[in-house]
Amino acid sequence: MSKVLITGAAGFIGSQLAYRLWKDGEDVTLVDNFSYGLEDNLIFEDHAFTEEILRKDIRDLDFMEELFREKRFDTVYHIAGITPLPDCQNMPVEAADVNVRGTVILLDLVRRYGAERMIFASTSAVYENNTDFPSVEEKVVPPSLLYPSTKYAAEQFCRAFSAAYHIPVVVLRFANVFGPHIDCLRTTPPVMGYLVREYYRGNRPVLHSTGEQERDFIFVEDLIDLALLVRKAEAFDTVNVGTEETVSINRIASMIAEEMGCPERKPEYAETAHFWAKYPELYAKPYPIDGKMMEHEVLKYTCLSKKHAKEAYGWEPKTSLRDGIKKTVEFSVAALERAGEKRA
Ligand SMILES: NC(=O)c1ccc[n+]([C@@H]2O[C@H](COP(=O)([O-])OP(=O)(O)OC[C@H]3O[C@@H](n4cnc5c(N)ncnc54)[C@H](O)[C@@H]3O)[C@@H](O)[C@H]2O)c1
């Protein structure tokens, strides 16, 4: 039985990963400070992690040192992070502290306590400024937004620790992830969480621009398959976790509306700037944020090459978009009910 640490384990992806490893009989240790995590994510049909999760911050150095000394982990999945783009843009010091310094803290502990490998949750958002598609791992035009900048910087530390100490560190660049446990309730939920919530409340969702932006969406269980397979890596690696296929936000909205029994409820459309206009502090003088950059973010296209994941790890995503959306809707509706939200 291998000893596995998962940071960010009360979040969407970390909780699903914890459950899969637990089912596989691994000895899992879960850490989360609940800055974004939810109790509800920790409750599964046949197990709840609510008691065993360690409600701690990865930057609590004394706690983390003691944890590594005591547990001697084999594998570290560093999934914790501040993810929402507006939060990172609004709280740059905190975002860098968690996403960059937090990652260095983990790498240094892995180095000193000898875990066999670390797997780091990065993002396809690092390809923000790329213009060639599908995006390949070796080519990143450095990003401009703060969220991908923190992840890109953290990736460099992963690379540097690996180069200097020969620690096998695998950087996983996730596309847009969806599936059960996606957050529907936070102020800026991921698009599928937002759509389910708005249809549930009886609202017409508001999409930005024409809704024809195309993105690469990966189902969480397929992501976890790859996160488990990369444990065979013996050296530093960076791996895209995407489908190499794209779908428009309009299509996603109509599929979710169909699954929720309200296909007639069409989205409304707002100006591209609408999304970011909700954050007036970003537009304050003397240095208002660059409007073109924000527009680019709203309209951006994502499509990740899956060639490396296939060749190196024999991985291919298995879940169809329709099946993944069905499972996402089913879980999210139940989660909204549990949260006391009224269905219209
Ligand atoms: N969901 C996606 O579409 C997506 C896409 C690309 C990359 N990622 C990355 O994958 C990871 C997981 O994403 P998610 O969607 O599950 O996000 P999430 O917000 O649901 O989970 C992140 C978890 O980290 C925890 N956390 C944050 N700061 C912490 C700290 N200082 N100490 C301890 N715990 C802390 C939060 O409480 C939360 O539970 C993140 O690092 C994110 O950047 C996610």
Range 87-100 average pLDDT: 97
186 within domain boundaries: no
Q: Are residues 234 and 287 in the same domain?
A: no
Residue 146 shares a structural domain with residue 86:
yes
344 falls within a domain: no
Q: Is 292 within a domain? A: yes
Query: Do 205 and 77 have their domain in common?
Result: no
> For the chain, what is the mean pLDDT?
96
286 lies in some domain: yes
CATH of the domain at 266: 3.90.25
Instruction: Point out the ligand 1 atom lying closest to the alpha carbon of residue 151.
Output: 43
Written as one letter, the residue type at 242 is G
Question: 67-104 burial, b if ≥16 CB within 10 A, otherwise e?
Answer: bbeeeebbbbbbbbbbbbbbbbbeeeeebbebbbbbbe
The band of 272, judged by pLDDT with boundaries at 50, 70 and 90, is confident
- As for how many domains the chain has, the answer is 2
Judge whether 82 and 98 are in contact, CB under 8 Å.
Answer: yes
Which residue has a Cα nearest atom 8 of ligand 1?
A: 123
Q: For residue 78, is it within any domain?
A: yes
The average pLDDT across 22-43 equals 97
For residue 184, which amino acid is it?
C
CA of 172 to the centre of ligand 1 (A): 13
Q: Can you give the pLDDT at residue 291? A: 87
* Ligand 1 center to 98 CA (angstroms): 10
- Please state the rounded mean pLDDT for residues 252-264: 97
Kindly state the average pLDDT of the residues 58-73: 98
Q: Whole-angstrom Cα distance, residue 245 to residue 302?
A: 9
Q: Quick one: average pLDDT of 78-82?
A: 99
Tell me: do 21 and 68 sit in the same domain: yes
pLDDT at res. 188: 82
Structure tokens at 165: 């100490």
Q: Whose CA is nearest to atom 21 of ligand 1?
A: 11
- Same-domain status, 162 and 263: no
Across 205-219, average pLDDT: 96
- Residue 226 main-chain phi, psi, to 5 deg: -70, -40
Looking at the fold, whether 228 and 307 belong to one and the same domain comes out as yes
Residue nearest to atom 42 of ligand 1 (CA): 83
Side-chain-facing half-sphere of 67: CA atoms under 13 Å: 28
Residue 169 within any structural domain of the chain: yes
Confidence of residue 146 (pLDDT cuts 50, 70, 90): very high
Q: What is residue 287's predicted lDDT score, i.e. its pLDDT?
A: 95
* Nearest residue by C-alpha to atom 34 in ligand 1: 32
Q: pLDDT-based confidence at 344, cuts 50/70/90?
A: confident
Choose the weakest-confidence range: 39-43, 268-272, 311-315. 268-272
* Residues 228, 256 within the same domain: no
What is residue 159's predicted lDDT score, i.e. its pLDDT? 98
Q: Residue 55 is part of which domain span?
A: 3-179+218-243+302-318
CA 208–ligand 1 middle distance (angstroms): 24
Q: Which residues line ligand 1 (CB under 6 A)?
A: 7-8, 10-14, 31-37, 57-59, 79-83, 98, 102, 121, 123, 174, 176-177, 183, 190
Q: Quick one: 288 and 306 in the same domain?
A: no
Q: Indicate whether 157 and 196 sit together in one domain.
A: no
Q: Burial-class residue 46 by CB neighbours within 10 Å (0-12, 13-18, 19+).
A: exposed
Distance in Å, CA 36 to ligand 1 centroid: 8
Residues 227 and 275 in one domain: no
Write out pLDDT tens, residues 299-311.
Answer: 999 999 999 999 9
Domain assignment present for residue 184? The answer is no
Q: In the Cβ-directed half-sphere of 273, how many Cα atoms lie within 13 Å?
A: 8
- Give 10 Cα–ligand 1 centroid separation in angstroms: 9
pLDDT of residue 274: 74
Same domain, 231 and 201: no
Considering the domain architecture, whether residues 159 and 263 belong to the same structural domain is answered as no
Q: Whose CA is closest to atom 27 on ligand 1?
A: 81
Ligand 1 centroid to residue 94 C-alpha, Å: 14
- Residue-wise pLDDT for 164-189, tens only, equals 999 999 999 999 999 999 999 888 89
Q: Which atom of ligand 1 is nearest to the CA of 9?
A: 39
Is 283 within a domain? yes
Look at ligand 1, atom 30, and give the residue with the nearest C-alpha.
57
CATH code of the domain containing 61: 3.40.50.720
What's the confidence (pLDDT) of residue 195? 97
Confidence (pLDDT) at 278: 79
CA 312 to ligand 1 center in whole angstroms:
26
Which atom of ligand 1 is closest in space to residue 83's alpha carbon? 43
